[in-house]
């Protein structure tokens, strides 16, 4: 039944989750844990330096050429989720991650440039870090905001709203603070405990942090840490259509952006 519902409504069911610790630690000012959920049939490249844009380190969508999460050699970071119940344009939201990572503009300048064309993109929440500012914009509201220090969760509803999945993720993330190793963050993201009870298999599946289905589910888990010398560590684990884990990838970058 869940598979049939996914097939009947392919655009509305994409789910992703991003957890952020911002300026909670002087040694690690930014910590990110994220899951990307997608149909297994959608072509995807694991994180790598892009041959056509060699300063970009990110996974790549084989359908439209954008990304859902990545870094640049200068130390910029961006990630995006969809807004599940919203409608919008036809441009791929992954273009926004690609365009920010390949640019050198501030978050404010980038989001200002996007503002006039927000409706052209498929609905999104977008997080961006330019080396100094961590900011977010979503397509259902004009403007953007800098994130204050603290723990934040970006899901598939407009940023600032809450549901059981987000509340559970934030609670579990807070419980792991001080244990922000790559292994701990990846284990956090690979928890498949249901956060909601429902008679619908689809809703129970989507309420899990790690989503499982025969046609759709969590395709990758990522952990990223920025230290006080602006060095990034980026781990990514990918999953095949049986959700068997790949070998863990690890990248290190020395950003040139000054904080």
Return per-residue pLDDT of the chain as tens, 259 residues.
344 444 444 444 456 999 999 999 999 999 999 999 999 999 999 999 999 999 999 999 999 999 999 999 999 999 999 998 788 899 999 999 999 999 999 999 999 999 999 999 999 999 999 999 999 999 999 999 999 999 999 999 999 999 999 999 999 999 876 667 999 999 999 999 999 888 888 888 889 999 998 899 999 999 999 999 999 999 999 999 999 999 999 999 998 754 4
- Domain ranges within the chain, ordered by starting residue: 14-193+218-254
DSSP string, the chain: -HHHHHHH-TTTT--EEEEEEESS-SS-SEEEEEEEEEETTS-EEEEEE-SSSTTEEEEEETTTS--SEEEETTS-EEEEEE-TT----SB-THHHHHHHHT----HHHHHHHHHTTGGGBPSEEEEEE-SS-EEEEETTSSS-EEPPSEEEEE-SS-BTB--HHHHHHHHHHHHHTT---HHHHHHHHT----SS--S-HHHHHHTSSS---SSEEEEEEEEEEE-TTSEEEEEEEEB-TT--B-PPEEEEEE-----
Looking at the DSSP assignment, which residues form a beta bridge with residue 39? 216
Helical pair 94-101 and 107-115, crossing angle rounded to 10 deg = 140
Sign, Cα dihedral of 101, 208, 206, 6: positive
CA–CA separation, 34 and 24 (whole Å): 18
CA–CA separation, 122 and 93 (whole Å): 6
Q: Of the CATH numbers 3.60.60.10, 3.30.479.10, 3.40.50.970, 1.10.3720.10, which one belongs to the domain with range 14-193+218-254? A: 3.60.60.10
Looking at the DSSP assignment, which residues form a beta bridge with residue 30? 22, 226
165 close to 16: Cβ distance less than 8 angstroms: no
Looking at the DSSP assignment, which residues form a beta bridge with residue 147? none
Q: List, for residues 194-235, the tens digit of each pLDDT value.
A: 998 888 888 888 899 999 988 999 999 999 999 999 999 999
Q: Is the pTM of this model over 0.85?
A: yes
């Amino acid at each position: 039944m869940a598979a049939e519902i996914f097939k009947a409504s392919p655009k509305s069911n994409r789910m992703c989750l991003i957890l952020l610790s911002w300026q909670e630690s002087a040694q690690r000012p930014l910590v990110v844990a994220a899951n990307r959920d997608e149909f297994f049939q959608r072509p995807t490249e694991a994180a790598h330096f892009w041959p056509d844009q060699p300063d970009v380190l990110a996974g790549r969508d084989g359908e439209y050429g954008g990304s859902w999460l990545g870094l640049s050699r200068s130390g910029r970071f961006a990630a995006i989720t969809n807004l599940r119940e919203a409608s919008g344009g036809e441009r791929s939201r992954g273009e926004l991650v690609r365009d920010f990572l390949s640019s050198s503009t501030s978050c404010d300048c980038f989001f200002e440039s996007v503002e006039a064309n927000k409706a052209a993109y498929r609905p999104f929440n977008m997080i961006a870090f330019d080396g100094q500012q961590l900011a977010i914009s979503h397509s259902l509201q004009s403007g953007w905001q800098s994130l204050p220090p603290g723990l934040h969760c970006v899901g598939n509803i407009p940023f600032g709203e809450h549901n059981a999945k987000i509340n559970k993720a934030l609670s579990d993330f807070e419980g792991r603070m001080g244990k922000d190793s790559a292994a701990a963050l990846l284990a956090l993201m690979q928890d498949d405990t249901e956060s909601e009870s429902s008679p619908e298999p689809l809703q129970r599946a989507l309420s899990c942090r790690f989503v499982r289905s025969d046609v759709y589910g969590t395709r990758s888990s990522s952990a990223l840490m920025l230290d006080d010398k602006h060095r990034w560590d980026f781990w990514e684990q990918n999953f095949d259509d049986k959700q068997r884990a790949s070998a863990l990838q690890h990248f290190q970058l020395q950003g040139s952006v000054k904080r």
